[in-house]
A and B are shown apart, each in its own frame.
Chain A
Amino acid sequence: MSTSWVNPLRDPRDKRLPRIAGPCGLVIFGVTGDLSRKKLMPAIYDLSNRGLLPPGFALVGFARRDWADEDFMKVVKDAVREHARTPFREAVWKQLAEGLRFVQGSFDDDAAFDQLADTLKQLDDQRGTGGNHAFYLSIPPAAFPTVTRQLSRSGLASADGERWRRVVIEKPFGHDLDSARELNAVVNDVFPEESVFRIDHYLGKETVQNVLALRFANTFFEPIWNANYVDHVQITMAEDIGLGGRAGYYDGIGAARDVIQNHLLQLLALTAMEEPVSFSPADLRAEKAKVLASTKPIEPLDETTARGQYVGGWQGGQQVPGLLEEGGFSPESTTETFAAITLGVHNRRWAGVPFYLRTGKRLGRRVTEIAVVFKRAPHLPFDDTATEELGQNALVIRVQPDEGITMRFGSKIPGTSMEIRDVNMDFSYGHAFTEASPEAYERLILDVLLGEPSLFPVNEEVELSWKILDPVLDFWAEQGKPDPYEPGAWGPDSAEAMLARTGRTWRRP
């Protein structure tokens, strides 16, 4: 858009008008993969169904299978029918299908990338994608250098004038600080940082965006959101499933790299950051980077961290194998499937408040939440017996499932003399987030096409996160085997011990 042009039909007060991206196309590498079939293609259909994709949108799949356009179309259609959130509508599908193309080849095949370049040129002519293309690398990171080099070689990585080229990458963003820097160098060598979109799908979730609304749109919470009132913070992401079939990705990586480095540290940043000057991407990032830069593990690490590996046993009425029996894992594997760490945020607001982060597989249930646990009242004007059952007040942001907010506080038990007990008050914006509201991937893909970077962590945040985690990983690397834990519970005993040392306990989420 030329700078002097003001579209007379656009009015900032017009909140009904959806944001529709300009003409563009999306190329998915690794289109045969799990992520592409379960999340990306369905999200694209859902966007299309909601009228949010530009007319003439094109979707190009790149893979080594020997497929014709029609085969690809069928694969997309099946994925959409099976996984899309919104109902299947033939008219919508037909429009989308007109813009589907398939390019066959392996990543080291120059000819295939030249053909991709031709396909995109044709799409610019036939569909009017206008030279605007995003490349989604839904492939193992090991393949990034080859693919980015190919994109650069075939002239696909850069565009002139007002056209744009963007690249979308998925975690893992390296396995430590050094490898993350290398990976960033590889990507930035071809794509400038402002056209790199790193997906952390948690940031696309409504509840996570709601953390900022909760904190900065209200008067209730911010005055007590600091070390004067907060005792500690627990951030949990638990899964009840095991790692069967994911050895290739997970063995040697482990829970901390897979989840803490990205999702949990992003949640910590949103919970702990100062109020941004504005909600512009630059201002948001500035605050996130500041808080991540002041965050460090609390030592000694043998007392403040825990790691575990699930063993076989009974979970939820089923007998399940331990990690070492799962196909593909080395019987000697020291990969942790549970990780818990203690972080301190060294600034005036949070000095002395531990942030406990934990994640694991084969835990009690699937749940992600941020729990802010408050200090006890400094004085209780009741008999001791009256407050025996009174715990600490807590505010819990339930990220998934059953998205919402819980407040925990003391209340008099009806009927008795003065006796006080903890109660929960729940808010959930109904089924909104599970049924009617967009999937995280819809929001994120739309933002990529719009070039709206707020919800994507930048290079700096990735590197800062590794700086926080690396000392813990180095320490663990010297410790031999992780502690075993039973499936279906909440991790190894060492995790309980790590909090018990300071007289605290984990919430049972």
Chain B
Amino acid sequence: MIVDLPSTTTSAVNKKLVELRERGGAVTLARVLTLVIVTNEGEEAESVIDPAIEASREHPCRVIILARGPKKAAPRLDAQIRVGGDAGASEVIVLRLYGPLAGQGASCAIPLLLPDAPVVAWWPTGAPANTAEDPIGTLAHRRITDAAAEKNPIKFLTSRLETYSDGDTDLAWTRVTQWRALLSAALDLPPHEKVRAATVTGDATSPSSELLAAWLSRYLNVPVRRVKTDAGPGIVSVVLERQSGNVELVRPDGVTATLTQFGQPERRVALPRRDLTECLTEELRRLDPDEIYEETLHDLGKVIKGRAPAATKTAPKKAVATKKKAAKK
């Protein structure tokens, strides 16, 4: 059910929520967290509703979407409540904030936060420089940004370290989980030799490539090169150099990767780029500080930058489907 409350206040929204619940019968769904999404009114706000609803299937939650309208307009708060079939396992509250209210998202969100439940804040794009000190960030136990959706992904990523605070996380980091899992599993197998150096190749604007390189640098404690290429979307390949042979994980097309390592036949692995729903679901799974992410940020500066020398491993040419925005597929 979708209920529109034009030109309203948060207490009216709260009242309506209670009324809907009473009318709809007993409260049977316990919600485990509040997800506050900060976005701009219009298409941007619409595009985050579905992933949030999908993710709520694993983590039942109240979703509050703060959609900022034009600052110049007269002050007004329009609200929309979605429950039941239109909201998956969540209840979605969209608050459209106009005029001076656009800068007062936190004060509108506070009365609607679930009592005692953790709060997760997500800026699909346009995150503040210091999320932890942002009025909405201070309400949140976990703060999700998405470097890939920012204007200058790499610069944004580097700035994460300066303002890092426990609870910060970034979807560019979520997108490398599967890569990290495969590489870790590869090193479980013999020969158990030390990795001497590593190279991560990926799109110039792929923050995930940077993070993957930094993670390898941090944990392998070896020089890691980050090579830029326009051969594929996102991350294209990782090479770990070892004495008896390299471990190579190459994904030219953004879908299927080939894993080569000494002593094992070459293998193909389905490694499709993860969509927003998948990333968000993973993020909501844990609410404690991500120490690994923090440590990885520390090594961003240690990664050696480079362009692909013409002859090195470039992906087959069929995969020239370049996309500048490394976000969803």
Contacts and interface: CB of A to CB of B under 8 A. Distances in A.
Interface of A: 1-2, 4-5, 7-11, 13-18, 20, 22-23, 48-49, 51, 54-56, 89, 91-92, 94-95, 98, 125-128, 130, 404, 426-432, 435-437
B1 interface: no
A127 B190 CA distance: 16
Interface stretch (B27-35, B36-44, B127-135, B201-209): B27-35
Contacts of A127: 265, 267
B310 interface: no
Nearest to B278: A50
B264 A7 contact: no
B162 interface: no
Interface of B: 26-32, 56-60, 88-89, 174, 177-178, 180-185, 187-190, 192, 195, 216, 219-221, 255-256, 259, 264-265, 267-272, 281-282, 286, 290-292
A94 B88 CA distance: 31
A10 B183 CA distance: 10
Contacts of B189: 22-23, 130
20 contacts: A2-B192, A7-B188, A9-B180, A9-B216, A13-B292, A16-B174, A16-B177, A16-B292, A17-B184, A20-B181, A23-B189, A23-B264, A55-B185, A56-B265, A91-B256, A92-B270, A126-B265, A404-B30, A428-B30, A430-B29
B60 A430 contact: yes
Contacts of B29: 428, 430
Contacts of A429: 30, 32, 60
Contacts of B188: 1, 7, 10, 22
Given A2-B190, A128-B265, A431-B89, A95 B184 contact: no
B219 A91 contact: no
A164 to B, nearest CB: 14
Contact of B185 (A20, A430, A437): A20
B180 A17 contact: yes
A380 B309 CA distance: 84
Contacts of B255: 91
A20 B192 contact: no
A56 B60 contact: no
A373 to B, nearest CB: 22
B291 A13 contact: yes
A230 to B, nearest CB: 24
A201 to B, nearest CB: 21
A15 B286 contact: yes
B33 to A, nearest CB: 11
Given A9-B180, A15-B286, A16-B292, 12 more contacts: A14-B292, A20-B181, A20-B185, A48-B270, A51-B181, A51-B270, A55-B269, A56-B264, A89-B270, A91-B255, A91-B256, A125-B265
Contacts of A430: 29-32, 56-60, 89
A95 B192 contact: no
Nearest to A406: B28
